[in-house]
Each structure stands twice: as C-alpha cells, then as structure tokens.
Amino acid sequence: MTKADFETRLRGASLRVTQPRLAVLAAVSSHPHVDTDDVIQLVRAELASVSHQAVYDVLRALTDAGLVRRIQPAGSTARYEARVGDNHHHVVCRTCGAIADVDCAVGQAPCLTASEDHGFTVDEAEVVFWGTCPACTPAPTTTSNRIPGGSR
Ligand SMILES: [Zn+2]
Ligand SMILES: [Zn+2]
C-alpha cells in the first residue's frame, strides 16, 4: 500500500490526514499484529518527534474509526492490524505468543451459532485458536522414532 492509499483510507473515515496517522497506519499495515511498543519504534524511526501519547491517541482514533483492528489474546499485550472488514480469526502460540491470521471458514460473523441466545442479538463469535507454533514444536528426535530392537 502506498501513502496515497493510506490518505484515502483516512479521508474515507472522515479523519484528517496527519503525518503521525499516516505513519501509524503504515506501521500497522506492514507489521500485522504489532504491539504498541513496536508501533512507537516504527513510527519514531520516521518521525522522531512523535510522543508515546500521540501514538496511543492515533491508535485509538484509527481503531475507533475502524481502520485498525485491536486484538488482545489472553495473556498478550494489545496488538493491532490493518486487515479489517473481514471476519478472520487468529491462531496463537501458547509458548511464544506468535499470532497468525486464519481465514474464517464461514466468512460472515457470527460464524458460530449460539445454542441459546438468551434474547440477545448475537453479531459476533470471537474465535481464537490456541496451540504451538512450528518454531516452538520440538523436532521429533530420531531415537524416539526407533522401534525397540529394530535393525539400524
Ligand atoms: Zn511459538
Ligand atoms: Zn489478523
């Protein structure tokens, strides 16, 4: 995405185009599931004078405007992504906290049907897949695969 695309997104959400907003949007777009500290670092690499508070404020404004989605898996700090408008889910590594996108198998929210809605109008089922990422999965050792007494 180019700077012009980000400007279009901001204007489309009735947000004034500012350098900090452009920088935050670019950082979140190029680093899916980035946390606040990393957004600050990325933005400051471009705009050294931007304060922490300014980045927090921009993240909130972009999230409120729907340009950025905030996710916070249990035990994780808040993460941000620019992939909005679809009902995608996340798979999270229990060991290192790595997060990856998972396309929704159904597409539209809510993708699960509540067995009892208690009269609520349900519009979303929050789905988080938990497991172990490839980097944290111990490689099977050859010894454990050997059949006891088997020939070499
Ligand atoms: Zn991991
Ligand atoms: Zn995502």
pLDDT of residue 141: 74
Ligand (nearest to CA of 83): 2
Q: How far is the CA of 145 from the centre of ligand 1 (A)?
A: 23
Q: How far is the CA of 16 from the centre of ligand 1 (A)?
A: 39
Q: How far is the CA of 137 from the centre of ligand 1 (A)?
A: 7
| Residue among 22, 3, 115 at smallest CA distance from 61 | 22
Tell me the pTM.
Answer: 0.84
pLDDT of residue 112: 92
Ligand (nearest to CA of 134): 1
Q: How far is the CA of 142 from the centre of ligand 2 (A)?
A: 36
State whether residue 31 is helix, strand or coil. coil
Q: How far is the CA of 44 from the centre of ligand 1 (A)?
A: 28
Per-residue pLDDT of the chain (152 residues; tens, 9 = 90+): 888 999 999 999 999 999 999 999 999 999 999 999 999 999 999 999 999 999 999 999 999 999 999 999 998 999 999 999 899 999 999 999 999 999 998 888 899 999 999 999 999 999 999 999 999 998 887 665 555 554 45
**What is the rounded radius of gyration, in angstroms, for the C-alpha atoms of the chain?**
21
Contacts for 60 with CB less than 8 Å, ≥ 6 apart: none
Specify the pairing of strand 69-71 against strand 34-35: unpaired
40: β partners: none
